[in-house]
Amino acid sequence: MSRRVLTLCLVFAASCSGPGPGADGGSDPPDAGTTDGGSATDGGHGEVACALSASVVNSSPKVNAMSVSAWTCTATTRVMTGNGIPDHPVVGGSFATPVGAQSLSVTFSRTPSITSQTGTTLTRRPSGYVLNSVKLDPGTDGTCSSTATSTAMGGGCVAIMGRDPWHLEALGGAFMFGTDENNAHTQPNGQYHYHGMPEGYLTRLGGGMRVTLVGFAVDGFPIYARYGYSVASDATSAVRAVTPSWQKKATPSAGRPSTTVFPMGTFTEDYEYVAGSGDLDECNGRVGVTPEFPAGTYHYYITDTFPFIQRCVKGTAP
């Protein structure tokens, strides 16, 4: 085992693995755990991620720290603890503050159920956490006024603590939020978080076109990345990239700042949900089978286009 790797123990398998994928020299990535029967109504999340722990050295120059995470379960809850340090290479990006260790303990429902047919909007709150304890936080705290004229300081926009009506997107807009190759950056306290597809983590899990569990939403339902079955209820159907049902508006909303300065896609308000235009609902989720839940469950997806990470949840929001 490499001297640069402490351990990565999969408790449910009673094993520790040696060096695996990734430029950081870390050990093999964590597995989600065993499968269970599940059901589409109660989640049926059984033993998935109930005995999972990882401790991996990340020697990327922007990190140079240990990534620590652990998932355990009680009869009714799934508990994640960790330090929020990514377990994959971090090369690019322009971070306002260095990546810093956090003290995280988050409790999820082990038996989530759908409580909102239209979804409960998450405003300035995380959508969930990846198994490596890194937060999923798609929105930003940046806004622009209706009279904004420039992306420069003093032009009517702020990057943090914004309270104006036009909410800035971290990806695909006129503003550069310093995100790296993993669609992530840090908050003022140094907390690394994903705004979109966690590319480095997917590579660490082995990549490829497969249905991949990457974490859990704040309501307890699982989150998958990019790929799902072409027929939601059929695990023998082809695997492909699933598509969201959010579309960029053809016409800017009334009162919006100039599209010449702020191209469509700069603001959250530039998108609208068009039911049935994609595979997923307004919360970027659907009911269907997955490798971990062969009997089916509601689950979310991280997608390559807006909303990237879900902005609402169908279960009980914290």
- Those residues whose C-beta lies under 8 Å from the C-beta of residue 17, and which sit 6 or more positions away, are 8, 10, 27, 28
Alpha-carbon radius of gyration of the chain: 19
Q: What is the pTM of this model?
A: 0.88
pLDDT of residue 255: 96
pLDDT of residue 21: 35
pLDDT of residue 151: 85
pLDDT of residue 132: 98
Residues counted in the chain: 318
**In 3-state terms, what secondary structure has residue 177?**
coil
pLDDT tens per residue across span 157-180? 998 899 999 999 999 889 989 999
pLDDT of residue 299: 98
Question: For the chain, what percent of residues have pLDDT higher than 90?
Answer: 80
Average confidence (pLDDT) over 216-242: 98
pLDDT tens per residue across span 48-103? 999 999 999 999 999 999 999 999 999 999 999 999 999 999 999 999 899 999 99
pLDDT of residue 30: 55
Taking CA atoms, 158 is separated from 39, 140, 154, 165, 180, in Å, by 45, 11, 8, 12, 21
Exposure string over 179-205, b if 16+ CB within 10 A, otherwise e: bbebbbbbbeebbbbbbbbbbbbbbbb
Asked if the model's pLDDT at residue 240 lies above 50, the reply is: yes
The pairing of strands 65-73 and 166-167 is unpaired
* Rounded CA separation 248/136 (Å): 22
Under the banding of pLDDT at 50, 70 and 90, the label for residue 46 is low
Q: Is 84 left (phi over 0), alpha (psi -120 to 50) or beta?
A: left
**In 3-state terms, what secondary structure has residue 202?**
helix
